[in-house]
Structure 1
Amino acid sequence: MASRPGVLRVGDRVFFEDIEHIVVGIEGVAVRLHGDDGRDQALLLPYLLSSDGFALVGTAGDQAEFASAGVLESLPPGAVAEARFWERHVAEVECGLPADAPPGTRPKPEYDPACTILAERERAKAAELAALGRPVGRRTLQRMRARYRAQGLLGLVDHRAMRPTSPTGRADQRVIDAIIRAIGEETDTSTGTRSRLMRRVERLLETEHGPGAVAMPSRAAFYRLVEQLSTGRHTFSAATTRRQNANRPAGPFTPTMASRPGEQVQIDTTKLDLLAVLDDGTVRRPELTIAVDIATRTICAAVLRPESTKAVDAALLLAKMLVPEPMRPAWPQALAASASRLPHARLLAIDARFEHAAAKPVIVPETIVTDHGTVYLSQTFTAACQRLGISVQLAHPGTPTDKGVVERTFSSINTLFCQHVASYTGRDVSRRGVDPARKAAFSLPELDDLLQEWVIHWQMRPHDGLVHPFLPGRSLSPNDVYALQVAASGYLPMPLGPSDYIELLPVTWRVINDYGIRIAHRTYDAPDLAAYRRRSSGVAVQRGKWEVHYDPHDLSHVFVRNHRDGGWITAEWTLLPLVARPFSDALWCQARRQVVERGQDGDDQTAVARALDALLRRAERDVTEPSGDVPPPRAAIPLRAPTEPGEDDIDGEGDAPTELAKVIPFGVFDPFSEEDYR
């Protein structure tokens, strides 16, 4: 019954010759227009419709609105049934047959358009409805016919049934505004009850409108209002979920896209949901730092540390990304790059390091996305990115969606790896078993070996977020996507030498004395330093001191830049033969604390070395003996290194020279910042 689309009618507004006009008359193929500039003109309809710039701006009256299935389903069933009842009778008045008449039905004599006029059909329908107990006037039938022509079935629906219902009913708007404000203030506070919220709303209303100016609803009505207004905000449930929801962006979420390997890499750090036995024998949750490539979902590198990740860990993570992962002795041959879907032969022809590499690609990052953690804002990390030609993009504060891929990867690691380890703790206390620390059986190096092997399996596992337009419905693995994309973007290796790794380490400036170099109560020396003792480095800004790089996870030796002749000089700790193996700064501080607790001098390197050796041997014994109970966790109280720049650079009696030993570096964790050494 509605007007057929594509018909120009009187009252329509059209755009013609850069001016809006209204159609004031149509006679045959002629159209009369009245422009907004006051001019009237008559045109042939074909000329008007075919002219450049012609457009239909608006139709006469309201735009026809037709009832879709979704609109009808949103209405009360009784209102829809009533509308269909009237549709049957209005259609019979219009065309002689009811709307639901089967094909071939002949109209009744009183409704036959060939024998009757519209006024006669209206009178007949009014009489019929009065006999059915639904009396209606002729003018009402005419209004129904007009609405049915304009809107179809929707025009016959009672408009009272189409009014949107308010979830808050007839509640005072001032009370609603106060409830919304109070719910918003609950975001950063500890979770409370509805009664506390009710008292806060009362105080807000008294402050804004005066005591007794706004009547509070009953407790039951107030709770119903709160239930409607707090939907999806977790106001009375977990505070962490409430804060996470508040951090969501207000606009539509746009997924992060990348078209080639390394275009964007996301880096983040989190604590794993499992326990490990550390080098000092304590049991704690290690911290994991990973780098995830957006284009391929490749875990480019993963670094485990016992506690707090340092800037040097993030810098060395970059170096680890740029070299192939070597096959380890215990790994099966199926994890080798030569047995995977990676283009091993092509990569080997470009980079010889892939000969014995595992099935994980080398991805050189172009842009790295990180949060505002102090690790990623440190000079060590930013200088490493600048040296490697990597751009750093900081995420918005408190917006984890800016690096959602790496956040989701952490969840996959917890579900696919951590929960299968004996010392799994669960993501919170409510999911934790009974004393998981007693089940901790892996040391940190052993746990790291398991994690690195799992990462290779991750590279071969199909990922739901990786699809190819020519392979619809098939999930690809990170290695599959890398093999497809590297064929288009290519691979250019970035070889790193020993000096490049040293450059990524933290730096401090020291004087070369007769006894060597002293850092944090430790003395380092080497035969190559003999020619530079008590000499200036020539760096005037640093008052003639020498640049020293150190690894906080292996303090057995340091690296001194030779400002005179170029290159690096490796200096080892003079008392290194007294300890079982290399050590970190955390173990050194714990050994010094034990020496001080025994009443000895904490600056006595020999006493600290013996305490350090005993600590390492005891920790090794606790890890290797399967029948012994794991010692309970105990936080070490570190003794801070000297903070004055030249405290250790004064002349004095040094320790007796000792024969240096060859030591294989063994990385362990350091929870302190490199600024302690400056």
Structure 2
Amino acid sequence: MPAPSHDTTRLDVLALFDDGRLARPELTIAVDVATRAILAAVLCPSATKAVDAALLLAEMAVPHPARPTWPHILRMDRAPALPHQRLAALDERLAGAAARPVVLPETIVVDRGKVFVSAAFTAACEHLGISVQPAPPHAPTAKGIVERTFGSINHLFCQHLPGYTGSDVTRRGPDIAQDACYSVAQLQDLLDEWLVHYHHRPHEGLRHPMMPRKALTPNQMWAALVAVAGHVPVPLTGRDYLELLPVRWQAITPAGITIHHRTYDHDLLAPYRGQPSPVAGRGGKWEIHYTPHDVRQIWIRLPDGELTEIPWIHRDHVHQPFNDHTWQHIRTHAHHHNHDDSQQHEADLADALDQLMRRVHSGHATTTEQALLARATTTPTPATDEPAQHDEDDSIDGLPDDGPRPAAAIGFGLYDAHEEAAKW
């Protein structure tokens, strides 16, 4: 099957962001060249990060569940063009799936944006067995299909929404800012439903060799190719989602692992303090996985090969996700009274961060502080009502035994790879 194309642009519609601003969200899509199927389409309020692009790979490779509010015709078991019974026998997740293609590509063609050529994205592709092919420089025709797909989304989807910006004044209302009413999350829900309709729509670029005059739908072309190439289920687990996260290499010091003046530590690190990692060519440093949206924990690959969660030492003091941008803001504006006491300085920074979050929550923060926290939490992490209960073996109830070993109690909306795996 020809390689899917992968690209990002701004959507031609205004959305209401969490900080009260009206702006155009960023849309990242992956288009299958062979079927013209839109395998993944995700909206982000701000610039797409490498971790967002990496997790898009998971969306391409697993079935999309049909929402209860959708018409029954959008379910795969109601789509006449798809061999649902045969596919469901191979992959039980297709039983309640939406009627849109599922593809694990061999190759992805990307532009040369730093997100798609980053180590995080290429490592995620390697984990899933996908090769990455950058588009030739200064060759806009190399990704003509994905560019035309952006045009189709703007023409067939965006122009029917309030807040549509259009390509010129003749194609939009007199006051688009007044018309805009959807949040980014609401637009994503609408886009997800529209995408299923899109795959039922005949495409002039899709022709069957035996019926050259008849334009096929992306679903019909996918069904024809599945009959030839087959369907291979890709059951992604919580461990896979941790593997898709960005990677950095750090030393384990007697105090733990230090990243940007934040210390991550747990008793599990005791045998490895001051010791080099067994990975050759990394100067003795250890493999660390992290999510840029929530830096309150990291995951380290210990000699057993598993990724183990290590919490920030002040994690219980800061109960909301924050990113490095927020942390650098706190460091810039905090007063460091004792340059010799790094532990006290880190504690003071954690307290300043907690006070900032409290001001925002109570409505007493400045506009700059509100915007800062809004950007930090645009990608919410799964939350629970109360901290998880621990057994004597320090495992968390409800998590699979084969997953990464959590280092401490969670319950403050921390990134949970098992929750991520359950979404797809």
Q: Please report the TM-score for the alignment, with normalisation by the length of structure 2.
A: 0.75
Are the aligned partners of 2:276 and 2:285 in contact in 1 as well (CA < 8 Å)? yes
Are the aligned partners of 1:283 and 1:632 in contact in 2 as well (CA < 8 Å)? no
**1:423-572 matched pairs, under 5 angstroms:** 423-427=163-167, 436-471=176-211, 473-513=213-253, 516-539=256-279, 541-562=281-302, 564-572=303-311
Following the alignment from structure 1 to structure 2, what is the Cα–Cα distance between the partners of residues 342 and 516?
53
Are the aligned partners of 2:317 and 2:350 in contact in 1 as well (CA < 8 Å)? no
Specify the SS of the correspondent of 1:559: strand
Are the aligned partners of 1:575 and 1:606 in contact in 2 as well (CA < 8 Å)? no
> Which residue in 2 is equivalent to 1:95?
none
1:322 aligns with 2:71: no
Aligned residue among 37, 42, 47 for 1:298:
37
1:348 aligns with 2:58: no
Are the aligned partners of 1:507 and 1:549 in contact in 2 as well (CA < 8 Å)? yes
CA positional deviation for 1:352: 2.4
Are the aligned partners of 2:76 and 2:98 in contact in 1 as well (CA < 8 Å)? yes
Amino acid at match of 1:427: S
Aligned residue among 20, 23, 32 for 1:284:
23
Residue identity (%): 49
Following the alignment from structure 1 to structure 2, what is the Cα–Cα distance between the partners of residues 331 and 565?
45
Structure 2's unaligned 5+ residue stretches are 338-344, 374-406, 417-424
Pair 1:357–1:366, CA change in 2 (3 A): same
Amino acid at match of 1:359: A
CA positional deviation for 1:615: 3.7
Following the alignment from structure 1 to structure 2, what is the Cα–Cα distance between the partners of residues 486 and 310?
32
Specify the SS of the correspondent of 1:549: strand
CA positional deviation for 1:405: 0.9
Following the alignment from structure 1 to structure 2, what is the Cα–Cα distance between the partners of residues 439 and 633?
27
**1:20-419 matched pairs, under 5 angstroms:** 262-340=1-79, 341-419=81-159
Specify the SS of the correspondent of 2:48: coil
Following the alignment from structure 2 to structure 1, what is the Cα–Cα distance between the partners of residues 249 and 65?
35
Following the alignment from structure 1 to structure 2, what is the Cα–Cα distance between the partners of residues 419 and 591?
41
Are the aligned partners of 1:537 and 1:545 in contact in 2 as well (CA < 8 Å)? yes
CA positional deviation for 1:479: 1.0
Amino acid at match of 2:234: M
Specify the SS of the correspondent of 2:199: helix
Are the aligned partners of 1:298 and 1:478 in contact in 2 as well (CA < 8 Å)? yes
**After superposition, what is the alpha-carbon deviation per residue over 1:44-102, rounded to whole angstroms, capped at 9, x for unaligned?**
xxxxxxxxxxxxxxxxxxxxxxxxxxxxxxxxxxxxxxxxxxxxxxxxxxxxxxxxxxx
Amino acid at match of 2:136: H
Following the alignment from structure 2 to structure 1, what is the Cα–Cα distance between the partners of residues 152 and 327?
35
CA positional deviation for 1:406: 0.6
Following the alignment from structure 1 to structure 2, what is the Cα–Cα distance between the partners of residues 420 and 580?
40
Are the aligned partners of 1:575 and 1:609 in contact in 2 as well (CA < 8 Å)? no
**After superposition, what is the alpha-carbon deviation per residue over 1:284-337, rounded to whole angstroms, capped at 9, x for unaligned?**
322111110111111111122222223333222222211111234544443222
Pair 1:285–1:484, CA change in 2 (3 A): same
Following the alignment from structure 2 to structure 1, what is the Cα–Cα distance between the partners of residues 83 and 231?
11
CA positional deviation for 1:504: 2.4
Pair 1:541–1:439, CA change in 2 (3 A): same
Following the alignment from structure 2 to structure 1, what is the Cα–Cα distance between the partners of residues 229 and 176?
47
Following the alignment from structure 1 to structure 2, what is the Cα–Cα distance between the partners of residues 472 and 540?
56
Following the alignment from structure 2 to structure 1, what is the Cα–Cα distance between the partners of residues 157 and 362?
30
User: RMSD of the TM alignment (CA)?
Assistant: 3.7
Amino acid at match of 2:2: E
Pair 1:371–1:659, CA change in 2 (3 A): closer
Amino acid at match of 1:374: K
CA positional deviation for 1:435: 5.6
Pair 1:285–1:606, CA change in 2 (3 A): same
Specify the SS of the correspondent of 1:565: coil
Amino acid at match of 1:661: I
> Which residue in 2 is equivalent to 1:661?
410
Are the aligned partners of 1:580 and 1:617 in contact in 2 as well (CA < 8 Å)? no
Following the alignment from structure 2 to structure 1, what is the Cα–Cα distance between the partners of residues 260 and 165?
36
Following the alignment from structure 2 to structure 1, what is the Cα–Cα distance between the partners of residues 211 and 280?
63
Are the aligned partners of 1:282 and 1:632 in contact in 2 as well (CA < 8 Å)? no
Pair 1:577–1:412, CA change in 2 (3 A): farther
Following the alignment from structure 2 to structure 1, what is the Cα–Cα distance between the partners of residues 190 and 47?
21
Amino acid at match of 1:306: P
CA positional deviation for 1:531: 4.4
Are the aligned partners of 1:265 and 1:368 in contact in 2 as well (CA < 8 Å)? yes
Pair 1:540–1:382, CA change in 2 (3 A): closer
Are the aligned partners of 2:330 and 2:349 in contact in 1 as well (CA < 8 Å)? no
Amino acid at match of 1:373: G
> Which residue in 2 is equivalent to 1:604?
349
Pair 1:396–1:509, CA change in 2 (3 A): closer
Pair 1:499–1:634, CA change in 2 (3 A): closer
**After superposition, what is the alpha-carbon deviation per residue over 1:631-653, rounded to whole angstroms, capped at 9, x for unaligned?**
8999869xxxxxxxxxxxxxxxx
CA positional deviation for 1:402: 1.5
Following the alignment from structure 2 to structure 1, what is the Cα–Cα distance between the partners of residues 219 and 319?
41
Structure 1's unaligned 5+ residue stretches are 1-261, 622-630, 638-657, 668-678
CA positional deviation for 1:395: 2.6
Specify the SS of the correspondent of 1:488: helix
Q: Please report the TM-score for the alignment, with normalisation by the length of structure 1.
A: 0.49
Pair 1:552–1:483, CA change in 2 (3 A): same
Are the aligned partners of 2:27 and 2:44 in contact in 1 as well (CA < 8 Å)? yes
Following the alignment from structure 2 to structure 1, what is the Cα–Cα distance between the partners of residues 263 and 170?
49
Specify the SS of the correspondent of 2:215: coil
Are the aligned partners of 1:272 and 1:285 in contact in 2 as well (CA < 8 Å)? yes
Following the alignment from structure 1 to structure 2, what is the Cα–Cα distance between the partners of residues 581 and 634?
14
Pair 1:576–1:437, CA change in 2 (3 A): farther
Amino acid at match of 2:33: I
